[in-house]
Amino acid sequence: MPAKKVLFCATVDYHFKAFHLPYLKWFKEEGWEVHIAASGELKLPYTDRKFNIPIQRSPFQMKNIEAYKELKRIMDENHYDIIHCHTPMGGVLSRIAARKARSQGTKVIYTAHGFHFCKGSPLLNWLVYYPIEKKLANETDWLLTINQEDYQLALNRFNATQVEYVKGVGIDTNSFTPLIEEEKRKRKQSFGYHPDDFLLFYAAEFNPNKNQKYLLEALALLKEKLPRVKLLLAGKGPLLQSCLALSHTLGINEYVDFLGFRDDLKELVPMCDIAVASSLREGLPVNIMEAMSCELPVIAVDNRGHKELVVSGKTGWLVKSESPEQLAAKINDLAMDEVTRRAFGKNGRKRILNDFSVDQILQHKKMIYTSCIQETEEVNWALQ
């Protein structure tokens, strides 16, 4: 009997390296043939075949027509049992391409990693993305959402066969672990910081949504009160140069480090003292879950993804996006209050262990995949 086949689709292949290796591994261990379709040439483990598809992030790029044709050819040739779609454009193109396969019994799953339309989103986002997602819900057997706001919207307004709330992609709590104070001081020194430096951390692409300028404006208000404060910003992106210029204008160059892309977050995050997050829109941010797993208290802008994780007054604080003064005040309060800082950190790790660890999410995903398999087998049996 030939092995069952699963196809994972996304806009770029790094998405799978960053978030989905435990799930690819599970399919391989269950004897499945695992295929990946995404833009990029990364070599991924637990993968039998990988297709470099020219999917573009923008819905208005003509290359997406070529990408759709490639996806359809791959699906028609390989007769997948399950197709799991991720990311906005990867999810759109793969679900359109999967129509024929789905009519022949393939189960189509789509994980919405935070709808582009949500409370407070620009009207343009609702006009462009909402009708697309609503229409394609009809082409989806399981629509997975990663926060309660998206779940309620999908449940009430979309017509997917099944809507499920899954708490993100999960965090490896054995890799992102806290340090005792003495180890934290030594780790700071190993990275070139003074052991008494008070480190704020944020890892994100430099783009308008991630809103790093808000953090820089708050830092400018803190430098006199906390002379040892430093803001560590990991990531690259189109707004990096403008943030560098803003830090110079605000006179905070010595208080901020632009770290660029980093693959050593497991070492960097635990040595820091507070995680900060300035993004205007989030689905369920992995960077916040990693920080909480390392027992960092979190101060984050109040949005649907952050409030899914941060319990104000228990694991950190939620603040207004238009108020760097509020952010600065909350950072200063926690810097002056080690007891609360430690309590928030311990509460945060407990929250991740209980609800957002990769082991917890894997169990939930296994249930969904198993249900898909059973449904497919029942259909096939009925057709015999």
Contact 358, 170 (CB under 8 A): yes
Supply the pLDDT for residue 130.
84
d(CA 243, CA 248): 9
Domains located in the chain, CATH noted:
5-170+358-383 (3.40.50.2000), 181-355 (3.40.50.2000)
Query: Taking CA 320 as the corner, what is the angle to CA 121 and CA 164, rounded to the nearest 5 degrees?
Result: 50
d(CA 356, CA 350): 10
What's the confidence (pLDDT) of residue 377? 64
Q: What is the pLDDT of residue 114?
A: 81
Helix (H) or strand (E) holding 29: helix 21-29
- Strand arrangement, sheet containing 316-319: 256-260, 229-234, 198-203, 274-277, 298-301, 316-319
Closest Cα to residue 307, out of 331, 334, 279? 279
| β-bridge partners, 111 | 86, 144
384 residues of the chain, pLDDT tens digit each: 678 999 999 999 999 998 899 999 999 999 999 999 999 999 999 999 999 999 988 877 889 999 999 999 999 999 999 999 999 899 999 999 999 999 988 999 999 988 777 676 678 777 877 888 889 999 999 999 999 999 999 999 898 888 999 999 999 999 999 999 999 999 999 999 999 999 999 999 999 999 999 999 999 999 999 999 999 999 999 999 999 999 999 999 999 999 999 989 999 999 999 999 999 999 899 999 999 999 999 999 999 999 999 999 999 999 998 899 999 999 999 999 999 999 999 999 999 999 999 999 999 999 999 988 877 665 555 545
Q: Please, what's the b/e burial string for 16-31 (b: 16 or more CB within 10 A of its CB; e: otherwise)?
A: beebbbbbbebbbeee
Structure-block tokens of residue 184: 């934290």
- DSSP annotation string for 233-279: EE---TTHHHHHHHHHHTT-GGGEEEEES-S-HHHHGGG-SEEEE--
The pTM score is 0.89
**DSSP state string for 78-131:** H--SEEEEESHHHHHHHHHHTHHHHHTT-EEEEEESS-S--TT--HHHHHHHHH
